[in-house]
Amino acid sequence: MIRATAEIDSIQFTSEATFATAGGHNQTLTLKFGNRSTALETFLSSLVDGVACGLIAVWVDNNGKAWCMGASAAAKEGTTRPINGMTANFDSGLLITDTDVSVYTVTLTRLSGYAPLPFDSTLTAAIIGGSAAFIDWS
């Protein structure tokens, strides 16, 4: 389990769905991080290594609700649909007047038939409080 804290108000989940006789949701989770650091580079390297095998992301939205993306109940999709795509972009800014720069943007993607799973209030509180037993907080 990899833990990272994104910049405030920078986490965005989006989903576009197309269905006919079959279909799915193209889901993206975008996170933005501040200045480059050794810890951030280690985190990004871990994501690159993990995305080939599939990732699960747990995040807390701006409303204080925790979500899980990358896992689905087998009864719904027949298999787990992990996060299996990633893009990363860094913008250092160009001018001294560029104030909202030096940002690393990471976008995680997956194709799924179902939306991310919400955690109940008890698990959400444990995730926010850093005591959720299923997360390695080290």
In a domain, 12, yes or no: no
**Pair 70, 110: CB distance under 8 Å:** yes
Return d(Cα 68, Cα 56) in angstroms, integer: 7
Return d(Cα 125, Cα 66) in angstroms, integer: 9
Residues 95, 99, 104, 105, Cα dihedral to 10°: -110
Domain holding 42, by residue range, is: 24-129
In a domain, 137, yes or no: no
In a domain, 15, yes or no: no
In a domain, 65, yes or no: yes
* pLDDT for the residue numbered 133: 85
Residue spans of the chain under pLDDT 50? none
In a domain, 19, yes or no: no
Domain total of the chain: 1
pTM of the model: 0.83
The per-residue DSSP string of 82-108 comes to -B-EEEEEEE--SSTT--S--EEEEEE
In a domain, 75, yes or no: yes
* pLDDT for the residue numbered 121: 95
In a domain, 66, yes or no: yes
Q: What is the pLDDT of residues 62-74, one digit of tens each?
A: 889 999 998 866 5
